[in-house]
């Protein structure tokens, strides 16, 4: 139960680190309304929040509203944290940090550091997370911003809670409460108290945890805060489960589920159903438990929550085992193994197979007691045969899995070699263009300064200019295209077939993105500004017909495979 509570508790404990923004009157009314709805839905319905964030982000990119773009990215990152999409959060982290350094906005830089630290937490890189948060804390202390300091304390608390250092985490939460008292954000104290209650529950201090959570619920209701009561109700459930008060636990699960359903929050509904299924599992009500887990899984799968899906598969295996449906239990455990791919899962599958065969042998022995000696001997022979066949199939499946793992390892090695070759190529191109640019500047300066040299020296200067101009041989696009095709065969050919109207510059941008080049690298290659590259990316998305939910880099990375499959 501890792992179950920690999985949901810490996920719900992360708080928003982006400061509320008051949009100016120049922003259209519909954009301002969308931004307000995104903030209101942040802790009520993550899917709705993300949808409104996309509307504001499109406007900010089109109109070069850098601060608005950064703030809405931070807001979007909050929803991605709750969904466990750490890759997308890391991408946002890099973008916001670049914006902060370009604009010299220290508040934005602190927020990007906190975002980076929280990303490292999700990756279990605790040393890097501590370093990023410490830098953010130093900068926030110099600015004297109590709201930022409070939110940094919360992130430190989560960091130590993830490392099972509950006492240190509590110290940071209490310190954060002191900063929150002088903050204008009324939600900060509620979030700190919620996190403290989670730790109290893990420590067995159930009465204190329950008292704090009820106080948070009262605050949210009285002040009409934009915070999901469903999360607070879910955090009460482990308290009642630990106290053995199953009816109360079910009651609060139903309350949480009703609120989540009312707001259309699929992720919160799934979490509530998992709690409900776990309670029925403890009560050995197998049918109700399996129904709750199955419904939760149907909500989780479209959202892409693989960690929750693995947890549900494991619980459904336990339920099937309790029912005596060993084939179903084996099927769920096999799916769990494919998702988690861990040694512990392999041991569970092996144990499940032995349990199934032992149960069949016991059943066979019970039936053999009512038969004559000859039939008993035949049955024992069949059991031994089944055992041998089972061992043989297990050995073959293990060999097949090892071959697949070896092939996957070889594929990753080839992809790594290709990536290194791409990086080497990019570095050489950047260096070559920098050298040619410097030579061009030298030639221009000599040409301008030539009249000021002595007449006798001017032929020599002209000779130097001609020699340097011969050295400036900027690589034409055709040469770049030829070298690119050696590594990524058929890319431009397939691109021309599917999108024949693309310009040379657009094809060139596709190639750079296919090489996983950053915005700064592309800007250096094309001798343009990072903002111009962002605008070009935006126009390219429109030309390729991509929606808001489609990632341009991923689309181009798998373009060859998709094009060949379409043929």
pLDDT tier at 125, thresholds 50, 70, 90: confident
Contact 112, 92 (CB under 8 A): no
CA nearest neighbour of 172 among 164, 162, 161, 181: 161
Superfamily of domain 230-340: Tetratricopeptide repeat domain (1.25.40.10)
**pLDDT, mean over the chain:** 78
Query: Which of 59-73, 120-134, 218-232, 510-524 is the least confident region?
Result: 218-232
What DSSP designation does 474 have? Answer: P
307-316, 334-343, 368-377 — most confident range: 307-316
CA nearest neighbour of 353 among 395, 394, 295, 310: 394
Query: Which phi and psi (to 5°) does residue 348 adopt?
Result: -65, -40
In this predicted model, what pLDDT tens digit does every residue of 399-443 receive, in sequence order? Answer: 888 888 887 777 677 666 666 766 666 566 656 666 766 777 777
pLDDT tier at 546, thresholds 50, 70, 90: confident
The CA-based angle 98-101-103, given to 5 degrees, is 105
Helix segments in 341-372, DSSP class H: 343-368
What's the CA dihedral at 42, 47, 50, 56 to 10 degrees? -90
Residue with tokens 């403890």: 282
Is residue 470 scored above 80 in pLDDT? no
pTM: 0.52
Longest dimension (CA), the chain: 124
In the Cβ-directed half-sphere of 188, how many Cα atoms lie within 13 Å?
28
Give residue limits of the domains in the chain: 1-227, 230-340, 391-475, 476-567
Tokens of 432: 């070559």
Mean pLDDT of 323-345: 75
- How large is the angle between the packed helices 306-323 and 326-340, nearest 10 degrees? 160
Check: CATH 1.25.40.10 for 1-227? yes
110-114, 170-174, 266-270, 487-491 — most confident range: 170-174
Q: Do domains 1-227 and 230-340 have the same CATH topology?
A: yes
| C-alpha distance from residue 427 to each of 413, 521, 537 (Å) | 21, 9, 22
């Amino acid at each position: 139960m501890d792992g179950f509570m920690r999985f949901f508790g810490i996920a719900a404990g992360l708080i928003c680190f982006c400061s509320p923004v008051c949009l100016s009157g120049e922003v259209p009314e519909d954009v301002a309304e969308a931004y307000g709805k995104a903030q209101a839905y942040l802790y009520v319905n993550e899917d709705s929040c993300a949808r409104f964030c996309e509307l504001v982000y499109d406007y900010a990119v089109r109109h070069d509203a850098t601060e608005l773009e950064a703030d809405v990215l931070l807001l979007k990152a909050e929803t991605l944290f709750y969904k466990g999409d750490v890759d997308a959060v890391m991408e946002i982290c890099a973008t916001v940090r670049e914006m902060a350094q370009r604009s010299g906005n220290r508040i934005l830089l602190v927020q990007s550091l906190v975002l980076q630290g929280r990303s490292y937490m999700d990756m279990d890189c605790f040393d890097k997370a501590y370093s990023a948060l410490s830098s953010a804390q130093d900068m926030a202390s110099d600015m004297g911003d109590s709201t930022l300091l409070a939110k940094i304390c919360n992130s430190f608390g989560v960091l130590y809670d993830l490392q099972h250092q509950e006492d240190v985490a509590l110290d940071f939460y209490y310190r954060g409460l002191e900063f929150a008292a002088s903050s204008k954000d009324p939600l900060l104290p509620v979030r700190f108290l919620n996190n403290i209650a989670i730790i109290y529950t893990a420590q067995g201090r159930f009465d204190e945890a329950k008292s704090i959570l009820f106080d948070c619920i009262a605050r949210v209701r009285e002040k009409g805060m934009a915070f999901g009561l469903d999360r607070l109700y879910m955090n009460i459930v482990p308290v009642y489960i630990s106290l053995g008060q199953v009816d109360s636990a079910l009651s609060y699960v139903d309350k949480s589920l009703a609120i989540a359903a009312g707001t259309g929050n699929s992720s919160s509904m799934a979490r509530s159903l998992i709690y409900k299924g776990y309670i029925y599992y403890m009560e050995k009500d197998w049918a109700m438990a399996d129904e709750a887990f199955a419904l939760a899984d149907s909500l989780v799968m479209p959202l892409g929550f693989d960690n929750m899906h693995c947890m549900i598969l494991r619980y459904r295996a336990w339920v099937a085992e309790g029912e005596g449906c060993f084939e179903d239990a084996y099927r769920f455990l096999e799916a769990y193994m494919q998702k988690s791919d861990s040694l512990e899962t392999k041991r569970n599958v092996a144990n499940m197979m032995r349990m199934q065969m032992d149960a069949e042998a016991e059943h066979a022995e019970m039936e053999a007691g009512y038969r004559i000696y000859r039939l008993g001997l035949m049955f024992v022979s069949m059991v031994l045969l089944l055992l041998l066949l089972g061992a043989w199939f297990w050995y073959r499946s293990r060999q097949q899995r090892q071959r697949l793992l070896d092939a996957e390892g070889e594929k990753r090695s080839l992809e790594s070699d290709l990536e290194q070759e791409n990086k080497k190529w990019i570095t050489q191109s950047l260096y070559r263009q920098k050298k040619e640019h410097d030579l061009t500047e030298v030639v221009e300066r000599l040409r301008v300064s030539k009249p000021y040299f002595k007449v006798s020296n001017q032929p020599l200067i002209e000779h130097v200019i001609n020699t340097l101009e011969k050295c400036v041989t900027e690589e034409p696009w055709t040469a770049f295209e030829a070298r690119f095709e050696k590594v990524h065969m058929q890319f431009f050919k397939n691109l021309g077939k599917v999108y024949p109207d693309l310009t040379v510059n657009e094809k060139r941008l596709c190639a750079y993105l296919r090489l996983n080049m950053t915005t700064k690298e592309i800007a250096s290659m094309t001798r343009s500004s990072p903002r111009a590259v962002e605008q070009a990316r935006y126009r390219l998305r429109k030309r390729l017909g991509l929606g808001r939910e489609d990632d341009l880099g991923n689309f181009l990375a798998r373009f060859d495979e998709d094009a060949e499959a379409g043929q």
